[in-house]
């Protein structure tokens, strides 16, 4: 019975697809823009996005400069959006919002435009250019439509996107740490905490900054060690003040003790000279 039901469903879907394609081909061959547009709207209302888009694109040039150009462009862009073709949809939506600034669809267009970039935003491991663009698009939408019913959702998306940038910033700095480029790691960690003070990685950043400073000092030439151990202690005391109960305190205290011993010894030597 289940196999038979599955067969029936498959036949129905296949038939529906054939009918839709037939409607598209018939409308295109009719050379009647009005008929093609009406069929496109019918397919659009039936949520047959791909077929509807094909017809909207086929008759689009006929309506350039007419009142219908606005709605046709909107419907076509919406079809691409519903098909999750984010890159193509974002280009059509951007074109629409620039060309039809007073369109009755403008709020929906700008909302979908922002959503396209949100959905294209990658995980923190990858380049975050699209994430930055998504933040700009969503921020612009919220600025223009502060009373939108989607304000809460967009604000949540902003938090998510900013979280990706925070994580990317941390990961870049941590990469320097892992490969032993401690001087670069210190700079990158400092930039991360300066740019994103609210980051949930703050304790990790302070910890790895301190360890990086210690290892940089320990591996430096003698002429630079004193100053770098002093810098390490600055990072250590900052960490201790902010995270006195951290699990890293004992480990960092051992490093700080070595730094203090080195500083005391070398200051004594300098004074003797």
Each residue of 111-120: pLDDT tens digit? 999 999 999 9
- Quickly count: other Cβ atoms within 10 Å of residue 90's Cβ: 24
**CA distance linking residue 149 with residue 151, whole number of Å:** 6
112: tokens are 């979908």
> pLDDT at position 22, please?
61
The contacts of residue 197 (CB under 8 Å, 6+ apart) are: none
> Which pLDDT score, from 0 to 100, does residue 31 have?
63
Q: Tell which residue, 111, 79, 82, has the closest CA to residue 94.
A: 111
Alpha-helical regions (H) of 145-221: 151-178, 182-195, 202-218
pLDDT recorded at residue 26: 65
Give the whole-angstrom CA distance, residue 174 versus residue 154: 30
pLDDT of residue 23: 60
The CA distance from 44 to 149, in Å, is: 24
Q: What is the pLDDT of residue 28?
A: 55
Higher pLDDT, 49 or 1: 49
pLDDT in tens, 40-93: 999 999 999 999 999 999 888 889 999 999 999 999 999 999 999 999 999 999
For residue 29 the two structure tokens come to 């061959």
Q: Cβ distance 231 to 213 under 8 Å?
A: yes
| Per-residue pLDDT at 32 | 77
Q: What is the pTM of this model?
A: 0.83
- pLDDT reported for residue 113: 99
pLDDT(1) > 90: no
Return the sign of the alpha-carbon dihedral for residues 215, 218, 222, 228: positive
Span 194-244, pLDDT tens digits: 999 999 999 999 999 999 999 999 999 999 999 999 999 999 999 999 999
């Amino acid at each position: 019975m289940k196999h038979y039901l599955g067969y029936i469903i498959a036949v129905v879907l296949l038939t529906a697809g054939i009918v839709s394609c037939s409607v598209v081909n018939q409308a295109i061959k009719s050379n009647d823009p009005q008929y093609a547009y009406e069929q496109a709207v019918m397919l659009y209302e039936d949520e047959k996005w791909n077929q509807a888009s094909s017809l909207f694109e086929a008759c689009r040039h006929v309506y350039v400069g007419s009142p219908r150009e606005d709605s046709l462009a909107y419907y076509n862009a919406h079809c691409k959006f519903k098909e999750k073709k984010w890159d193509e949809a974002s280009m059509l939506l951007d074109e629409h919002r620039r060309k039809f600034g007073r369109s009755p669809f403008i709020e929906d267009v700008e909302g979908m435009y922002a959503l396209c970039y949100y959905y294209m935003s990658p995980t923190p491991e990858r380049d975050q250019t699209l994430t930055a663009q998504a933040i700009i698009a969503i921020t612009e939408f919220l600025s223009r439509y502060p009373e939108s019913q989607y304000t809460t959702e967009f604000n949540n998306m902003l938090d998510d996107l900013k979280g990706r940038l925070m994580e990317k910033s941390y990961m870049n700095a941590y990469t320097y740490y892992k490969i032993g480029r401690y001087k670069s790691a210190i700079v990158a960690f400092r930039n991360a905490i300066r740019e994103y003070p609210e980051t949930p990685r703050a304790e990790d950043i302070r910890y790895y900054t301190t360890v990086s400073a210690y290892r940089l000092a320990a591996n430096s030439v003698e002429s630079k060690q004193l100053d770098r151990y002093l810098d390490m202690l600055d990072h250590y005391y900052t960490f201790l003040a902010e995270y006195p109960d951290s699990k890293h305190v004992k480990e960092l205290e051992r490093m700080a003790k070595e730094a203090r011993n080195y500083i005391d010894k070398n200051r004594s030597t300098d004074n003797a000279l």
